[in-house]
Structure 1
Amino acid sequence: MTKILVGIDTGVNTGFAVAIDEGNGGKLNQVKSLTITKAMDEVKTIICNFGNSNVCLYIEDARLRTWFTGGREKAQGVGSVKRDAQIWEEWCKENQITFKLIHPRNNATKYKSEVFKKLTGWTNRTNEHARDAAMLVHGRFAKF
């Protein structure tokens, strides 16, 4: 049975990563950045192709974060990311999609490209949001 894990790093640039396990421990299949609506479309396509019961979303939930640094602009960005997490949660419930909300402290984030490549084996071009999404699903198949 094929298992699909989708990592979502919420924000204006939604980090989006897909890991597929076909009985071999799993590996990254997609690592990119999208708009929230394009990411939702991609999730729907994955579910159509693999079935709802084989897919689980791992969504970084900024609402659980209690530490912030920076000025007013940073605070507005944080509010936006928190709202996106809420939208993802509501959307998953409405569409009966299995999901897990991940506390930001429980995700290894902010890896530079070269470190990310060594950890994951993913050699294609990425940005910070895409890498953060990938780290939400990298190595999680044992917990699915």
Structure 2
Amino acid sequence: MTSKIIIGIDPDLVKSGVAITQAQQIISLDAMSFFQLIQCIEEHKHQACFHLEDVEHDKAIYRRPGVKNAAVERSIAQKVGQVKAIGRLLKQYLADSGADFKLIKPLQGVTKRNAKKNAEYFNRLTGWTGKSNEDKRDAALLALYG
């Protein structure tokens, strides 16, 4: 019996991180536009469970240490809002399409931080040998450990 495919999604406005895993192994890491991701959901919705990062889990707004420029803070707030909007749309699409999905609160801790920021550490942790970026690694962590 083959194990279920788990697809981790780290939402983003331009390109979301997407990881396809099976039996705790990464099959592929990708960055997809919203419409590519919709196609991916359609293609896999009958055989996969989607782990979508719950970008609305944390409702608080934090001051960024060292950021004293109001324009920079507004720009950060806009980007957070854009990510939350895409996350909300993906959640709605997954529900409406009948896909099996779970909202995963953002992972935390030293291991998560190190794996997201450091490709070499991520590769040792997961066995992945291909290229990756922070969004792809985050998606893989959601799929593997979410």
- Give the TM-score category using the shorter length: 0.7 to 0.9
2:135 is paired with a residue whose SS is helix
Matches of 2:81 and 2:143 in 1, distance apart? 24
Matches of 1:119 and 1:37 in 2, distance apart? 31
Alpha-carbon offset, residue 80 of structure 1: 0.6
2:12 is paired with a residue whose SS is coil
RMSD of aligned residue pairs (Cα, Å): 1.8
| Residue equivalent to 1:83 | 85
| Residue equivalent to 2:121 | 115
| Residue equivalent to 1:20 | 22
How many residue pairs align between the two structures? 131
Matches of 2:17 and 2:126 in 1, distance apart? 16
| Residue equivalent to 2:96 | 94
Alpha-carbon offset, residue 102 of structure 1: 1.0
Match of 2:132 among 115, 118, 126: 126
TM-score normalised over the length of structure 2: 0.81
| Residue equivalent to 2:51 | 58
Q: Which portions of structure 1, spanning 4 or more consecutive aligned residues, are displaced by more than 6 angstroms?
A: none
1:55 and 1:37, CA in 2 relative to 1: closer, same or farther beyond 3 A? same
TM-score normalised over the length of structure 1: 0.82
* Contiguous gaps of at least 5 residues in structure 1: none
* Contiguous gaps of at least 5 residues in structure 2: 68-72
Alpha-carbon offset, residue 105 of structure 1: 3.9
Report percent identity of matched pairs: 30
